Structure 1
Amino acid sequence: MSGRRTGYRTGAGELDQRVAIEREDRIADGGGGATVAWVPVCTVWAKVWPVSGDERARAQQREASVLVRMRIRRRGDVAADMRARWNGQTFNIRFVAEGGRDPFLTLDCEG
């Protein structure tokens, strides 16, 4: 299938990496405050690749950070305020792109 916004073609067989998606949750501590914890939303199969230097410059991102793009099957419970854990690293999801009838989501992540 062709992604409208990304221009990348993805077949289900290319989703060969396990990625855990987590959301931030505030848990009351009983004393009027709260503790922040990350709770699992889902674990999905993904295609993961680094963002090139040219794309990095266009996105005006800091060179020191690691930028990756993840392509997963479309879900309604993934948002830009979540994080992704892949290959022992944690990445903040910065942007979720979905293209019309495209059955996949593209996540731009920074770690």
Structure 2
Amino acid sequence: MSVVEQYARAHIVTDEDVDRLDPAAVPVVLRYDPESDPLAVRIDLPGPHAWTFDRALLEQGLRAPAGSGEVRVWPCGRVQAVVEFHSEQGVSVVQFETKTITRFLRRTYTAAAPVAS
């Protein structure tokens, strides 16, 4: 099993000071490490912001609003999805193209598939 990392660009809205960021082109990293936690994914936002949460939540949120604890995911029209993160520092809302998340999820299931002997 191998780690899956997918670099993506997303729109971010946050109540933090983001003057240094271009809201039209924010780099993010989608990460899945089946050795560390086969049920979780991680999203790294610019700066020291990283969120780890259940992979099933990400998948469910592509079809209908879903949430667990500090993370919420929901579809936004036909081609976008929103991931909302809550912390003591505030709320960050990240908007992705649905195809980006779908492609990432497919890769995670391939990486987690058992190897036939």
Q: TM-score, normalised by structure 1?
A: 0.32
Q: Which has the larger radius of gyration?
A: 1
Q: Which has the higher strand share?
A: 1
Which is helix-richer, 1 or 2? 2
